Amino acid sequence: MAQTQERVTKTSKIPVRLGLIVICAGGFMDAYSYLLHDHVFANGQTGNVALLGIRLASGDLPGAARYLAPIVSFVLGIMLSKHVLARVHGGDRNRMMCSVAVFEACAFALVALLPEWTPGLLVTSAISFCAATSYENFRKFGTRSAYSSVFCSGNLRSLGETLYEGLVCGDSHELHRAARYAGLVVSFCVGAALCCLLIGLVGKYASLAMSALFLLSTRFVTPSEA
């Protein structure tokens, strides 16, 4: 259906600052789940899939469930994102980014308010769901540069590719893009470091900083794009 197809703007340029803020929140949420919830990384699911296989091979079904839950939550987050984008926002990714940022801000505020006895599996699954919605919807900066907002492997690959094009092939534009990818990786690291510091100060309430970052990100989806 025409109305459910993703709308493409002529020169939709997404500010690099938006990517830097969102990926900083991504580093923060990965560190948050690791430091406060059984050393589980909630963003990227490759490790969880590997650990799921290890637990199944050893016959540890309860242990397997610990890794299966965030995997399922991540997939559900992707599915719901696509549904809302098509059915609610008519394929308008800029409106969707604003909605996702507000959703993430509310979700991490709720995480801060959860009682201490809340099962860690529930929290890591919720963070995995939020990571999926961020990953699915914050995916580009500038006019043509793709990035990952919740983990760094793809960004490091892009950094290596653009550095090669810039340094070996002499493409100055690719060097400029390489600097941006390096900035994204550094911003992810800064988010993780900030999380560690804030957890030391305020414990689980550090998740409110993620809410603040996502609310800040809405400033960089301009009215003309939204």
Q: Are 147 and 155 in contact (CB under 8 A)?
A: yes
Between residues 36 and 142, the one the model is more confident about: 36
Q: Global pTM?
A: 0.88
* CA–CA distance, 98 with 215 (Å, rounded to integer): 9
Look at residue 143 in the predicted model and tell me its pLDDT. Answer: 72
Contacts 24+ apart (CB under 8 A), 150-155: 150/23, 150/26, 150/29, 150/30, 150/43, 150/44, 151/26, 151/30, 151/43, 151/44, 151/188, 152/184, 152/185, 152/188, 153/44, 155/23, 155/181, 155/184, 155/185, 155/188
Between residues 24 and 92, the one the model is more confident about: 24
Between residues 68 and 11, the one the model is more confident about: 68
pLDDT in tens, 116-150: 899 988 999 999 999 999 999 999 887 778 999 99
Look at residue 12 in the predicted model and tell me its pLDDT. Answer: 64
Mean pLDDT confidence for 161-173? 94
* CA–CA distance, 6 with 85 (Å, rounded to integer): 8
pLDDT in tens, 55-68: 999 999 888 888 89
pLDDT in tens, 196-213: 999 999 999 999 999 999
Q: Please state the domain extents for the chain.
A: 19-220
pLDDT exceeds 80 at position 10: no
pLDDT exceeds 70 at position 166: yes
19-220 adopts what CATH topology? Growth Hormone; Chain: A; (1.20.1250)
pLDDT band at 160 (very low <50, low <70, confident <90, very high): very high
* DSSP codes, the chain: -GGGSPP--TT--B-HHHHHHHHHHHHHHHHHHHHHTTT---S--HHHHHHHHHHHHTT-HHHHHHHHHHHHHHHHHHHHHHHHHHHTSTT-HHHHHHHHHHHHHHHHHHHHHS-TTS-HHHHHHHHHHHHHHHHHH--EEBTTEE--SS-SHHHHHHHHHHHIIIIIS--HHHHHHHHHHHHHHHHHHHHHHHHHHHHHHHGGGGHHHHHHHHHHHGGGS-TTT-
pLDDT exceeds 90 at position 1: no
> What is the chain's mean pLDDT, rounded?
89
pLDDT band at 13 (very low <50, low <70, confident <90, very high): confident
Could you tell me what percent of the chain has a pLDDT over 70?
Answer: 92
pLDDT exceeds 80 at position 187: yes
